[in-house]
């Protein structure tokens, strides 16, 4: 005796159900992935800012003892952990000063950020973050306040 295809119970997923599920996941991913990437890159920037702030504090202490700022970060009294994914430039005299006793500048460069932000720089001076010389995107800057 043959069973009709209409009387057999159907098991499994329909093609339409699977297609709708895939479309739904795609929509969720379209919104979630950019937010995750921005959050990830912002955490890298926070690490870089913390490093530069530690350099600034250590430079202030060095200046108080020596009467000038350190020419190399290896001369500073802090145990500095270099931020991952950034290259650290050398300590330089800022363009608006004449020698290291008057001021310093340090640049971190993020080359080819994997999250679509491209390369950017973060510049700190003896006065703090230099937003004019830095090229970090405002959306990932720890100093940026969301509206």
Q: What is the pLDDT of residues 4-20, one digit of tens each?
A: 555 556 677 888 888 88
pLDDT greater than 70 at residue 64? yes
Q: Per-residue pLDDT averaged across 135-141, rounded?
A: 89
SS3 call for 123: strand
Distance (Å, whole) CA 105 – CA 97: 10
Least confident of 40-44, 65-69, 114-118, 133-137: 114-118
**Which tens digit of pLDDT belongs to each residue from 102-114?**
999 999 999 876 6
Instruction: Record the pTM.
Output: 0.75
pLDDT value, residue 116:
74
pLDDT score at 68:
94
The answer for residues whose C-beta is within 8 angstroms of residue 70's C-beta and 6 or more apart is 58, 59, 62, 76, 91, 100, 104
Tokens standing for residue 42: 């912002």
- How is the beta sheet containing 120-125 ordered, strand by strand? 86-88, 105-110, 120-125, 128-129
Listed range (24-33, 43-52, 57-66) with the worst mean pLDDT:
24-33
């Amino acid at each position: 005796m043959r069973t009709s295809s209409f009387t057999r119970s159907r098991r499994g997923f329909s093609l339409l159900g699977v297609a709708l599920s895939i479309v739904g996941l795609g929509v969720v991913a379209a919104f979630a992935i950019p937010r995750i990437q921005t959050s990830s890159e912002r955490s890298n920037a926070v690490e870089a800012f913390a490093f530069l702030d530690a350099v600034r504090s250590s430079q202030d202490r060095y200046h108080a003892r020596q009467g000038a700022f350190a020419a190399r970060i290896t001369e500073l009294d802090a145990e500095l952990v270099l931020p991952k994914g950034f290259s650290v430039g050398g300590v330089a005299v800022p363009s608006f000063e004449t020698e290291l006793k008057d001021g310093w500048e340090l640049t971190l460069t993020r080359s080819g950020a994997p999250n679509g932000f491209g390369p950017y720089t973060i510049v700190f001076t003896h006065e703090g973050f230099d937003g004019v010389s830095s090229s970090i995107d405002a959306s990932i800057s720890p100093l940026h306040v969301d509206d």
